[in-house]
Structure 1
Amino acid sequence: MSDETGLQELRLGHPLVDRYLAFVGARLRLNSWLAIAFDLKVFFTVVDRDPLEVDTSAVFAFLEAQRAPRRGPRVVRLEDGERGLSARTIRRRLSSVAGLFDFLMVQGLVSHNPVPRGTLARKRRDGNRRGRALIRVPRVLPRILAPHEVDRFSAALRTHRDRAMIEAMLLGALRRCEVLGLRLEDIRPGEHRVFIADGKGGHQRWVPVSARFFATLAAYLESERPETDTNRVFVVLKGPRRGQPLSADGLDEIVSGARARAGLRHVTCHQLRHT
């Protein structure tokens, strides 16, 4: 179900799982809620059991299935040593499953959580054992673009709107959703900053941005942005959705097109904001 505010209900077809999704849906933001629902769907697709019948052996079987090589060339990533899904994805899915069983424990429906919290390692000097994470996720620095790559990518953008969005990421480190969520009243050109009304985790903040962004933004607002009732800054310029807020898919398509024209296959929105 959904209304003007967005998705209101998620169901996977099992009353206990659906009850848990209703519980977390009232407490988490939409993207986190959707991620948990998807992770649980994947888990119970692989582990074809009733939640009350899941044991640790089933969790380990799921873990092995997630770490199995994907279709295609057998490649081991240098980043995390995994052949299947990335270590971060696997850890997130196990965390989602663990959250379900924590909920069932509180409800008195299961006696313990079948998801191991870690593996025991060597003893410390005080005689206690130190736990190691079940899935080890390496800490890696973000891959950034070289200055000449930034210039090539920027030159491949076709409109002032597109350049303004990319400059918001490059010069203000805004996330994709923050760029798309900018409203006209959030722009403070005289102060060279923008207001982020709905950042990650629902946090709000002011972000200083280079004057270069505001110059490009002014060119877009003066010559490209169609008349529209929406207060979103970045809108569709052509086609049946002209004047409507630009979607995440639309921004991804813009990045993908510029990436192809510039011959930079590795460029992503995440990379742009860390450059």
Structure 2
Amino acid sequence: MSWVDLRLMRSRTPVGDLAVSFGVPLLDAYLEFLAVRSRPNTVAAVAYDLKVFFTVVGKPPAEVAAGDVFAFITAQYTGGAAERLQTVAGDRVGVSARTVRRRLSSISGLFAFLHARGDVAGNPVPRGLPTRRERQRPRQGVPLVRTPRTLPRILQPGQVDALLAALRTWRDRAMVEAMVLGGLRRCEVLGLRLGDVQVAPRRLFIACAVGVMNPRR
């Protein structure tokens, strides 16, 4: 068989759930194992990730090495063979870092399963790139794929008004307004006590984290 032309087949179980298979015993055994502990959509997503990987690599599991995994990562960012691509930043062609990390997780799960069964010699997906401190901390290393950190999205004024209008009690409204207008964190609002509220001067005393010089503000 040709691993480049790996075919993903979809069907329905007797109860109507989505079922996927490749017609390849090694891969189907893992999907069956995964189906016992995961939702059908999760299994389908993992199956598609595996299809993308073997389509790009073009090798059976027993022949896949770490170099093939690195080549796969590069292909995901630059546009690999037979891959459905999407633009992620500007004119760059490829999939997002989160998608690459998810696919590596799916691939690593497959090889961990096959290694436990004795079908392959080891897992070709490295834990991370080695560093100078690898001897002291062998499990630590630079992640294979760095996921960009994004700031939380700020609610627009109209969204805040709609949120406040949907609240049913004055307590809920006070909690939300304390976060929106006072910049309080969720844990700070949940930690408020009646003695922390001063109605006349319209003040709140907030208990700060342990170790802060001023425990109240």
**TM value normalised by structure 1:** 0.48
Separation in structure 2 between the aligned mates of residue 103 and residue 4 of structure 1, nearest angstrom:
27
Amino acid at match of 2:63: E
Q: 1:52 to 1:68 in 2, by over 3 A?
A: same
Residue 75 of structure 1 is aligned with which of 69, 78, 90? Answer: 90
Contact 1:39 1:97 in 2 (8 A): yes
Separation in structure 1 between the aligned mates of residue 63 and residue 52 of structure 2, nearest angstrom:
17
Matches within 5 A, 1:82-231: 84-123=94-133, 127-128=136-137, 130-148=140-158, 150=159, 210-211=167-168
Mean Cα deviation higher: 107-116 or 47-56:
47-56
Find the counterpart in structure 2 of residue 50 from structure 1: 60
Report the secondary structure of 2:127's partner residue.
Answer: coil
Higher CA-based Rg = 2
Separation in structure 1 between the aligned mates of residue 86 and residue 96 of structure 2, nearest angstrom:
14
Deviations 1:232-263 (CA, angstroms, capped at 9, x unpaired) = xxxxxxxxxxxxxxxxxxxxxxxxxxxxxxxx
Alignment root-mean-square deviation, CA: 3.1
Amino acid at match of 1:101: F
Contact 2:12 2:18 in 1 (8 A): yes
Q: How big is the shift at 1:29?
A: 1.6
Q: 1:105 to 1:136 in 2, by over 3 A?
A: same
Contact 1:9 1:22 in 2 (8 A): no
Amino acid at match of 2:38: L
Separation in structure 2 between the aligned mates of residue 88 and residue 59 of structure 1, nearest angstrom:
16
Amino acid at match of 1:67: Y
Q: 1:120 to 1:72 in 2, by over 3 A?
A: closer
Q: How big is the shift at 1:140?
A: 2.1
Report the secondary structure of 2:119's partner residue.
Answer: coil
Deviations 1:169-208 (CA, angstroms, capped at 9, x unpaired) = x68xxxxxxxxxxxxxxxxxxxxxxxxxxxxxxxxxxxxx
Structure 1 residue runs of 5 or longer lacking an equivalent are 77-81, 155-166, 172-208, 213-275
Q: How big is the shift at 1:74?
A: 7.2
What is the number of residues matched between the two proteins? 152
Amino acid at match of 2:42: S
Q: Which has the higher contact order (CA 8 A, sep 6+)?
A: 1
Separation in structure 1 between the aligned mates of residue 86 and residue 116 of structure 2, nearest angstrom:
39
Contact 2:30 2:110 in 1 (8 A): yes
Q: How big is the shift at 1:65?
A: 0.4
**TM value normalised by structure 2:** 0.59
Structure 2 residue runs of 5 or longer lacking an equivalent are 1-10, 80-84, 170-217
Deviations 1:121-165 (CA, angstroms, capped at 9, x unpaired) = 2328x94454121111133233233114x38xx9xxxxxxxxxxx
| 4+ long deviations beyond 6 Å | 71-74
